[in-house]
């Protein structure tokens, strides 16, 4: 402890702000329950569609974004802030920079969450996964994140400990990278207060989105939690961290490599192949850096494994790190092209994600809370027995979840690709492959319920714990003010770097900008590699509005719009997709999961009447379908007057609409709606249909793939 013993100078006394930590702890518990309840709800909806009670804002497409946002930003977000604010002060021997900023941070973040809950279920969404919140909320997130950053770095400036501990390295990387990701991915042009279009289109939008989406996992669900692990595991077991050297290597390699891996979400798409390959190989190289964190976490438990049996906090954290190891092995595996070809678009992916979010995040948060709550409220945990019951329920539920999704994903994928000797699909009807795995959806829903119950048990346990809290006099801490006496002349280079956190932060920023720049900048100069196809025209005004309905209803949560270059996909859906098809798609709608079939070639496949009946009740056309009914689209008037404003924004974003087209857009949309309605009227559909939203959605679906379909089959345009 030489660094402390040698210190001289002015001793100072100070206190820590634990009230703000308590607030974030309570918020974590409340939003955690909400996130899990939403997850269980939509899990049951996949098993039995009627669980949406035919209420628009309870349908899967609307609630799934709310579930993911609640789990990531509300549950994990509040937990991160609680853990960071608790440990940051103690690691730096300094009270948080500003009590006011802490409060603004807390209430601002809760406001963001409430705003999400009041917009997403009502279809106010940008249609970009994990970034669905509309532009006013995006701005609010940016402001609150800056408040957090000022509070965080302000505390660093006022620190009494010269060197920053590894936990803080991870916090720094988190704060910087999340800011960059959020701002770049959220660039959008407002149409109104509740509607905007992404600045990027098609392939570019996909690349930016998955650079963001993947790194939301990396820098919101991984790096801050690794930081928390580095603080709370050694604190909980009173053991030194296993290897400082490993901390350095795995921190820098993780931060540098993670940012490149986004394109592994876009393998076999029309993203240029060099970017896909980069996404894959960097994922493979990421395996060991990820495991570096696991090794340091688990090896710190050396000699105290008995505490896993007796101490709930240790038990949960050790399990979390184990699941982290599993998920970070599965991730690189899934990134290998030939494995991804099987797993992508299937339930294997949600299974993988939940081994991370439940296995790693929920478990680690529980472990941290079992450590924190008794300390913060100056009491003993109410019941270890309940904590252990919670543990077993959560583990049981998670295993059911993971295994059922492996079975469902692999089964369905093999059915999709099965072909006979005549070159025909053995399961040409997509629905056959859905019906086959519905039993697994039930198993998953039961697993999820078990996890939810485990969480409620924890809430009760903490409720009883906090109820028996005793008033604690505020502890006064003492430390030397930071002065020259803490400079270590002969320290290693990295140790010196730890003494200059601002330079450390800049280096982290550079580390994440390298990969980001190399992958994204060439795509922004897209003209170079997207070979234009003249047959591909912008959407008509009616179709454009229909596309917004598609986004609003969250169709992309279950349907993809990209045909991969694989024989079975081309036989099933039609021509493989081409990058030029998406140049007017602000935002892109490729999706990431095929709960239903791909729609890239849906246009003209069925008559209008088919779609009319299918949206009214999918089971009329497809027996056994698990898709919700969209009956409200048959009663909602189509707001024709709003169309010109949308087209004007699209025009600004580079879609070649002429002023003339915009001026006549309302009439054009009405004319197209009438054509569709007239055709439907022949089958006895009421003529008023031309005024309803459903017409625009039918028009949009009927347009998908039409333009590119008219292009004669040639060897697909190479984009190298």
Partner 1 sequence: MNNTEEKIEVKEDEKHLLLDHNYDNIQELNHPLPSWWNTIWAISIVFSIGYFVYYQFMGGPTLVEEFQTEYSEIIVKQTEFKRKESLFDDSYYQKIIADGGLEKGKEVYEINCLPCHLKDGVGDTGPNLTDDYWLIAKGTPESIYSVIFNGSEENGMPIWSEVISKDEIYQAVSYVMTFKNTFKKGKKPQGEKIVDK
For residues 617 and 711, the answer to whether their CB atoms sit within 8 Å is: no
Angle at 318 between CA 163 and CA 281, to 5 degrees: 75
Answer yes or no whether residue 716 interacts with partner 1 by CB under 8 A. yes
Q: Under the criterion CB under 8 A, does residue 116 sit at the interface with partner 1?
A: no
Instruction: Select from 148-156, 216-224, 350-358, 618-626 the region that touches partner 1 (CB under 8 A).
Output: 618-626
Restricting to residues 302-321, name those near partner 1 by CB under 8 A: 302-304
Number of Cβ within 10 Å of residue 590's Cβ equals 26
Q: Is position 288 an interface residue for partner 1 (rule: CB under 8 A)?
A: yes
267 vs 387, beta carbon nearer partner 1:
267
CB of 235 to partner 1, least distance (A): 7
DSSP one-letter string for 614-653: HHH-HHHHSTT--PPP-GGGGTSBP-GGGHHHHHHHHHHT
Please identify which residue in 117, 322, 403, 620 interacts with partner 1, judged by CB under 8 A.
620
Torsion angles phi and psi, residue 533, rounded to 5 = -120, 115
**Interaction of residue 559 with partner 1, rule CB under 8 A:** no
DSSP-assigned letters across all residues of 103-152: HHHHHHHHHHHHHHHHHGGGT-----TT--S-HHHHHHHHHHHHHHHHHH
- Which of the residues 583 through 612 are near partner 1 (CB under 8 A)? 604-607, 609-610
Q: How far apart are CA 199 and CA 23, in angstroms?
A: 37
624 binding partner 1? (CB under 8 A): no
CB of 357 to partner 1, least distance (A): 25
Does position 422 bind partner 1 by CB under 8 A?
yes
CA distance 242 to 240: 6
Give the CA distances from residue 193 to residues 117, 122, 215, 536, 651, in Å, rounded to whole numbers and listed in that order: 16, 14, 28, 31, 19
b/e map of 92-122 (b: 16 or more CB within 10 Å)?
bbbbbbbeebbebbbebbbebbebbbebbbe
- What are phi and psi for residue 573, nearest 5 degrees? -110, -35
Query: Binding to partner 1 by residue 477, rule CB under 8 A?
Result: yes
Measured CA to CA, the distance from residue 450 to residue 390 in angstroms comes to 9
Residue 99 tokens, joined: 């009590």
Distance CA 288, CA 279 (A): 16
Out of 11, 565, 654, 656, the only residue in the binding site for partner 1 (CB under 8 A) is: 565
33, 183, 571, 666: which one binds partner 1 (CB under 8 A): 571
Nearer to partner 1, 527 or 718 (CB): 718
**Touching partner 1, residues 158-187 (CB under 8 A):** 161, 163, 165-166
Per DSSP, the three-state class of 425 is strand
Binding segment toward partner 1, per CB under 8 A, in 57-65, 99-107, 285-293, 587-595: 285-293
Q: Is 268 in the site for partner 1 (CB under 8 A)?
A: yes
Task: Name which of residues 341 to 380 contact partner 1 (CB under 8 A).
Answer: none
Residue 292 sits in the site that holds partner 1 (CB under 8 A): yes
Q: Which lies closer to partner 1 via its Cβ, residue 308 or residue 419?
A: 419
Query: Candidates 36-44, 57-65, 217-225, 279-287 — which segment interacts with partner 1 by CB under 8 A?
Result: 279-287
CB of 410 to partner 1, least distance (A): 20
Complex with partner 1: residue 3 or 389, whichever CB lies closer: 3
Least CB distance from residue 346 to partner 1, whole Å?
19
| Min CB(337)–partner 1 separation in Å | 7
Contacts to partner 1 from residues 669-688, by CB under 8 A: 683
Residues in the chain: 720
The verdict on 103 binding partner 1 (CB under 8 A) reads no
Q: Is 140 exposed, middle or buried (0-12, 13-18, 19+ CB in 10 A)?
A: middle
Q: Which residues, 199 to 258, sit near partner 1 by CB under 8 A? A: 231, 234-235, 237-247, 249
**Which of 299, 502, 510, 514 touches partner 1 by CB under 8 A?**
299
**Taking contact as CB under 8 A, which single stretch among the options 53-61, 129-137, 184-192, 614-622 is the one that binds partner 1?**
614-622
Total of chain residues touching partner 1, rule CB under 8 A: 83
């Amino acid at each position: 402890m030489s660094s402390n013993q040698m210190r001289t100078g002015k001793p100072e006394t100070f206190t820590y702000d634990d009230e703000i930590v308590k607030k974030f702890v309570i918020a974590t518990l409340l939003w955690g329950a909400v996130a899990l309840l939403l997850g269980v709800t939509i899990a049951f909806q996949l098993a039995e569609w009627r669980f949406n009670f035919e209420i628009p804002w309870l349908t899967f497409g609307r609630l799934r974004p709310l579930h993911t946002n609640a789990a990531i930003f509300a549950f994990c977000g509040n937990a991160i802030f609680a853990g960071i604010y608790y440990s940051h002060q103690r690691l730096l021997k300094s009270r948080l920079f500003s009590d006011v900023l802490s409060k603004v941070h807390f209430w601002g973040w809760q406001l963001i969450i409430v705003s999400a809950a009041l917009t997403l279920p009502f279809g106010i969404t940008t249609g970009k996964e994990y970034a669905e919140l509309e532009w006013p909320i995006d701005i609010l997130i940016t402001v609150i994140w800056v408040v957090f950053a000022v509070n965080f770095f302000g505390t660093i400036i006022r620190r009494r400990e010269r060197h920053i501990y590894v936990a803080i390295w991870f916090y720094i990387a988190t704060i910087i990278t999340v800011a960059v990701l959020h701002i770049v991915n959220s660039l959008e042009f407002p149409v109104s207060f509740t509607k905007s279009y992404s600045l990027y289109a098609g392939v570019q939008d996909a690349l930016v989105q998955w650079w963001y989406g993947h790194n939301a996992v990396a820098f919101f669900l991984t790096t801050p939690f690794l930081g928390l692990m580095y603080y709370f595991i050694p604190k909980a077991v009173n053991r030194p961290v296993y290897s400082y050297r490993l901390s350095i290597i795995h921190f820098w390699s993780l931060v540098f490599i993670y940012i490149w891996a986004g394109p592994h979400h876009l393998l076999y798409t029309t993203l240029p192949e060099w970017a896909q390959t980069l996404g894959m190989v960097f994922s493979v190289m990421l395996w060991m850096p990820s495991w570096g964190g696991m090794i340091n976490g688990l090896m710190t438990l050396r000699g105290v494994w008995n505490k896993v049996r007796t101490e709930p906090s240790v038990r949960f954290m050790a399990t979390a790190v184990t699941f982290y190891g599993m998920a970070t092995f599965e991730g690189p595996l899934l990134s290998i092209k030939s494995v991804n070809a099987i797993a992508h678009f299937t339930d294997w992916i949600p299974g993988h994600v939940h081994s991370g979010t439940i296995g790693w995040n929920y478990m680690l948060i529980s472990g941290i809370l079992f450590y924190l709550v008794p300390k913060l409220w100056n009491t003993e945990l109410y019941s270890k027995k309940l904590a252990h019951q919670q543990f077993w329920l959560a583990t049981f539920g998670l295993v059911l979840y993971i295994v059922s999704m492996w079975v469902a994903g692999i089964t369905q994928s093999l059915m999709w690709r099965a072909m006979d000797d005549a070159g025909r699909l053995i399961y040409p009807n997509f629905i056959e492959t859905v019906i086959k795995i519905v039993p697994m959806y039930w198993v998953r829903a039961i697993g999820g319920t078990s996890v939810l119950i485990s969480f409620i048990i924890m809430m009760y346990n903490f409720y009883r714990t906090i109820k028996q809290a005793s008033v604690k006099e505020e502890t006064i801490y003492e430390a030397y003010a930071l002065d020259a006496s803490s400079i270590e002349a002969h320290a290693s280079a990295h140790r010196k770097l730890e003494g200059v956190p601002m330079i450390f932060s800049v280096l982290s920023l550079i580390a994440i900008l390298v990969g980001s720049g190399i992958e994204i900048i060439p795509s922004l100069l897209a003209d170079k590699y997207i070979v234009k196809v003249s047959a591909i025209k912008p959407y008509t005004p009616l179709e454009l509005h229909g596309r917004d309905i598609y986004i609003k209803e969250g169709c992309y949560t279950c349907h993809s719009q990209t045909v991969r270059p694989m024989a079975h996909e081309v036989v099933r859906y039609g021509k493989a997709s081409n990058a030029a098809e998406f140049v007017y798609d602000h935002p892109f709608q490729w999706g990431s999961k095929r709960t239903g079939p791909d729609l890239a070639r849906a246009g003209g496949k069925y008559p209008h009447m088919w779609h009319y009946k299918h949206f009214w009740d999918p089971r009329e056309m497809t027996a056994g379908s698990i898709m919700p009914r969209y009956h409200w689209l048959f009663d909602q008037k189509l707001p024709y007057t709003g169309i010109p404003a949308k087209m004007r924004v699209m025009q600004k974003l580079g879609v070649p609409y002429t002023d003339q087209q915009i001026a006549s857009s309302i009439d054009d949309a009405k004319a197209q709606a009438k054509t569709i309605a007239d055709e439907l009227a022949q089958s006895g559909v009421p003529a008023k249909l031309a005024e309803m939203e459903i017409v625009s959605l039918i028009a949009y679906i009927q347009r998908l793939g039409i333009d590119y379909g008219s292009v004669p089959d040639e060897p697909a345009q190479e984009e190298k």
